[in-house]
Amino acid sequence: MLLRDMSKYESHLDLCFSALGDPTRRMILQRLARGEASVSELAEPHDMALPSFMEHLKKLEAANLITSKKEGRTRICELSPDAFTPAKDWLSEQSTTWEGRLDRFDDYIKNLMQERNK
Tens digit of pLDDT per residue, the chain (118 long)?
444 444 445 678 889 999 999 999 999 999 999 999 999 999 999 999 999 999 999 999 999 999 999 999 999 999 998 888 888 888 888 888 888 888 888 888 888 888 888 7
Distances, alpha carbon 85 to alpha carbons 52, 82, 92, in Å = 27, 5, 10
Q: State residue 35 phi and psi, 5-degree precision.
A: 140, 170
What pLDDT sits at residue 2?
A: 41
Q: Which residues contact 59 (CB under 8 A, 6 or more apart)?
A: 15, 18, 19, 22, 25
Is the pTM higher than 0.85?
no
What pLDDT sits at residue 9?
A: 55
Sign of the Cα torsion 89, 92, 96, 102 reads positive
What pLDDT sits at residue 20?
A: 92
The terminus-to-terminus CA distance of the chain in angstroms comes to 44
Domains of the chain: 2-117 (1.10.10.10)
